[in-house]
Each structure stands twice: as structure tokens, then as C-alpha cells.
Amino acid sequence: MGTRAIFFNGFIVPEAEVRISPFDHGFLYGDGIFEGIRAYNGRVFKLAEHLSRLYASAKSLMLDIPYSPEAMGNAVIETVRANRLQDAYIRLVVSRGDGDLGLDPARCPNPTVIIIADKIQLFPEAMYRAGLPTASSAIRRPSGDVLNPQIKSLNYLNSVLAKVEAGQRGVPEMILMNQLGHVVEGTGDNVFIVREGRLVTPPLSAGILPGITRATVMDLARENGYEVREENFTLHELYNADECFLTGTAAEVIAVVSCDGRLIGDGKPGAVAQAMRTLFMRYAATHGTDIYPNVSVV
């Protein structure tokens, strides 16, 4: 791909022209929010849901986004269109903006807004066929009274440290727990286990991000006759599950076949995980906001 076109503070410009101040509080302090969004087959998937979560995060941070949700949605579509993409990973970032070296957000009058449309492959294609080996992380997710997991903030150091640990452990992904020892998430994914045909995923109260792919999979599962429960579970229950899989905008749906050297089920992607991936990919390919409304998309 040639030079990327980036939405930067109201304009779509070549990547090389994007200049972020060294005094931007997103850079200095991680003070900001983001969304990762997908486009499939010429359509932006779940755009309204992503924008709703973005503006909810902004409200909690008292961060005033300088565009309406409608204008932001149009900017997302225009950015994908400017890069001539049918399938894309979109990163929408809103930082507190240029300020001083102090923490006070009141000294940052103008938020910085950036939209990137590009490609992403979180895991190699072979792992979607063979399944993902994982390990449990020594890193704990912060409790909700420390850092609210429902705010999709720029502070991802907790996940970065877990990814460092993944490299040291020789696995591509880690399973994180909360301070009570309950399984909560991967480094950037929601977790499901399967027991006797039932799907079980941690509740929001466990300290997880309310994933949009997670919610979509839960809806699709119920529509196709599966029972879905939101319940706390431990590593012991994950080790002894019939199946396990992860969901996320970047990861989509991927089976987990081991954790800490214990095979999950028979150590191969299970029937339920494969069915959920098929249902999700089929749904994503046919639903979304048109990027090229006057062009036929099959």
C-alpha cells in the first residue's frame, strides 16, 4: 500500500503530514480514548455501537469530542474511502490534546482526533485453523475502582506488560485474571469457555471491556439455539472446559486449544468455536454501514 491517508483534526492528509505535539496529553499521560473498528466487504461493521462506546468513554473522562457522532461516523467512512479499502481495521483516537507538562486536563483546550484505516492481522492465519496456545498471566487486571475497564482509554500498559510476558513464555496470547482470581480477558480480547454446549463468558462486573464482538457472538449464539451465560470462572474451569475461544475486533473469533500446558478439550479447535467463527464472519460480511453506497458490493 502507498502513503496512507489519515484523518487529522478535521482534514484527511497524507500520513507524513500528521504532526502531534510533544505536549499532547495522550502522548505524555495516556489521557485519551480510542476505538478499533472493522470494515468488511465495503461496510463499516457496528459503526453506531463503536461510536456509542467512544462517546460514553469520553463522557466519563469529561473529554469533549469536537464532532457530533454523525460527523465522526462520516469521518470514519471518508477515511476508509480515501484509502480505497474494502476490508480494513480502523483506529479512531481522541486524545486530550496539546497542553503543558502538568496533569491538569483543563490546560488542554483542543482535543486531538486521528482516524487511521489500514490492515491488521493479530494472529497468523494458521492459528485460526490450528488454535491458539495461551498461558495465564502474572499481571492482574486493575479493579474497576482503580481503572474502569469500560472506559476504552489509551492506557494499555497492563496489556503491554502481559504481551511482554507472552513473549517470555513463548505463546502468542495471555489469559488475565482479576484480583479475585477470576478469568477476565486476553490482552485485547474477551474470553468464552464452552461447557456441555453452553457458552460462558465473564460478566461486566468481573472487570472486562464490554466487547462489541463479544456482544455480537452472544446474540448470534442465542439466535442459533445455544445457551449463553455470563458467569465468573477460574483457571481450573478454563483448563477443564470442553472448549475456549477469544473474541475481539482485531482477533475476530479464534479458538484457544491450551493454557499453561494443559490441553483444552482434545487440544484442537472445537465445534462450537468453529461454528461461532463461521456465524460471525458470515454476519460481518453482510452487515454494516456502506462505505461506497453507489457501488454494488457482493
User: Alpha-carbon distance 282 to 260, whole Å?
Assistant: 32
Q: Where do we find the cell 473522562? A: 61
Cβ proximity of 57 and 64 under 8 Å: no
Options 46, 152, 163, 268, the catalytic residue: 152
**CA torsion, ordered 91, 96, 101, 105, to nearest 10 deg:** -150
Cα dihedral 26, 143, 188, 248 sign: negative
| Burial class, 225, CB count within 10 angstroms (exposed 0-12 / middle 13-18 / buried 19+) | exposed
Neighbouring residues of 228: CB distance < 8 A, sequence distance ≥ 6: 198, 199, 200, 201, 218, 221, 222
55-67 per-residue burial string, b: 16 or more CB within 10 A, e: under 16: bebbeebebebee
Cβ proximity of 123 and 254 under 8 Å: yes
Please say if 152 is a catalytic residue. yes
Cβ proximity of 117 and 88 under 8 Å: yes
* Number of other CB atoms surrounding residue 293 within 10 Å: 10
Query: Which of 99, 97, 78 lies closest to 13 in space, CA to CA?
Result: 78
Cβ proximity of 186 and 254 under 8 Å: no
> Which residues are annotated as catalytic?
152
